Structure 1
Amino acid sequence: MISDRKLTFYHSAPSRGNIVHWMLQELGIEFDVKMIDIRNGEGQTPEFLALNPLGKVPTIVHGDTVVTEAAAICCYLADMFPAAGLAPAFDDPMRGEYLRWLFFSPSTIEPALIDRVRKQEAGDRSMSPYRDWDTLMAMLRDVIGNAQPWILGEKFTTVDVVMGSAIRYGRMFDILPETPVFEDYIRRINLRPAYVRMQEIEAPYVEASMAV
């Protein structure tokens, strides 16, 4: 039974682990948390490197299964716990669109945000994961602007957890432009009870990290 498998979430706050923590709150399932102080080298212990050779969070262990990378973890969790309704079924025609946008965030949006912070140009458009900044912004405005109210329509899905986190991060640090399209979408995220719970649980860890 899937529900009988112990689920351990390796996390560090603040980090991309927040994406998985939000996902876990949306699922409403039981899990253990092991906080890893990445800055103090806890990600480099032999025990943790055996789980994630890059020494990164988030990482989960579900029974005998180890999953790393935030989007992959969220995809796995949605499929393992289908009762939450956060992913289309495998035979649902929306499954392709779901997977497209689920992995669009780490493969396309995040590289663009990093380049923007570093003030790097996309370079050769044919080799850039996001073509160029203006093209990506036009695409994001269209996708988020047409959310009704969520990216795949009326139903909130894992896509909103993963891509929503990227949009929220981009606006939090003024990497993405201020526009009602993004702000309205973020406001809808902020009203989700699972997101509120995640933020409340994370707050002490974030405050402690800022005090160091």
Structure 2
Amino acid sequence: MLTLYHAPMSRSTTVIALLHALDALDQVRIVPVSIPRQDGSGGHDPANPHPEGKVPYLSDGADFVHERSAVFAYLCERFPKPGFAPQPGEPLRGQFLTWLSYYQGVMEPVLVGQVAGVTHPAFHATFRDTGAMIARLSGVLSRQPYMLGETVTAVDLLLQSPFAWFPQLCPEDTAIRDWVERTAAHPSLAFAMEYDAALLPREAT
């Protein structure tokens, strides 16, 4: 059975939402673990097999997956849901994989760099700058309500997550802000927050 190592109110919260959206929660064992937090709380949990003590970490027998975009791709292929994640050979599969990789390889580094005040030319040449990232998202979302078209997909759950968690990072762009609001209304995101709220007292003990 698949096992997800998960810390409440962390990057893996979006994976809980994904499993709910895929109707796959009953097919994955969820193991709550602690992680080092930016405020100094938490710490490396010996029960967590992730090599850096982070989450999400997904084990599948002798195999494993970590890094959120890879976990998303793996779960969406393992538990296909029509219209929610294009499968191999289906239309928009390339865009689906591109946006998952764009999140991990561009969006998150750029947003962390923005918070950290990184302005080095080599950083921007490699990962893009905030303006380029905003223009890329807005260019898509000004034409359609979601990243892959007219309906919400797994891509939207992942890409909107930093703006939902940290509203101060959301740009003053109407297309992006409206998309974040639309995606935030997805019931699986509300479920994930309620799921984590129930876990937090356990993590504190």
Report the TM-score when normalising by structure 2: 0.84
Q: Distance in 1 between the 2:82 and 2:92 partners? A: 17
Q: Distance in 1 between the 2:178 and 2:201 partners? A: 27
- Which of 184, 190, 194 is 1:200 aligned to? 194
Unaligned runs of 5+ in 2: 37-41
- Which of 151, 154, 167 is 1:158 aligned to? 154
Q: 1:190 to 1:173 in 2, by over 3 A?
A: closer
**TM superposition shift of 1:28:** 1.2
Q: Distance in 2 between the 1:72 and 1:21 partners? A: 15
Match of 2:183 in 1: 189
RMSD across aligned positions (CA):
2.4
**TM superposition shift of 1:178:** 3.2
Match of 1:180 in 2: 174
Q: Distance in 2 between the 1:194 and 1:125 partners? A: 35
Q: 1:27 to 1:93 in 2, by over 3 A?
A: closer
Match of 2:43 in 1: 41
The answer as to 2:104 corresponding to 1:102 is no
The answer as to 2:9 corresponding to 1:7 is no
**TM superposition shift of 1:83:** 3.5
Q: Distance in 1 between the 2:147 and 2:35 partners? A: 33
Match of 2:39 in 1: none
- Which of 63, 66, 70 is 2:64 aligned to? 66
**TM superposition shift of 1:52:** 2.0
- Which of 17, 21, 24 is 1:26 aligned to? 21
Q: Distance in 2 between the 1:37 and 1:80 partners? A: 26
Count of residues paired in the alignment: 198
The letter of the residue matching 1:175 is L
**Is this contact kept in 1: 2:171–2:177, CA < 8 A?**
no
**TM superposition shift of 1:166:** 3.1
**TM superposition shift of 1:7:** 2.2
Q: 1:15 to 1:98 in 2, by over 3 A?
A: same
Moved more, 59-68 or 22-31: 59-68
**TM superposition shift of 1:23:** 0.6
Q: 1:13 to 1:85 in 2, by over 3 A?
A: same
Percent identity for Structure 1 against Structure 2: 29
Q: Distance in 2 between the 1:185 and 1:41 partners? A: 35
How big is each residue's C-alpha offset from its partner over 1:92-149, in whole Å with a ceiling of 9 and x where there is no partner?
Answer: 242111111111111101111111111111413774212x222222222222333x32
Q: Distance in 1 between the 2:61 and 2:202 partners? A: 31
Q: 1:63 to 1:105 in 2, by over 3 A?
A: same
Moved more, 70-79 or 181-190: 181-190
The letter of the residue matching 1:52 is H
Q: 1:63 to 1:128 in 2, by over 3 A?
A: same
Report the TM-score when normalising by structure 1: 0.82
- Which of 120, 138, 141 is 1:141 aligned to? 138
Match of 2:81 in 1: 83
How big is each residue's C-alpha offset from its partner over 1:140-165, in whole Å with a ceiling of 9 and x where there is no partner?
Answer: 2222333x322111232221121121
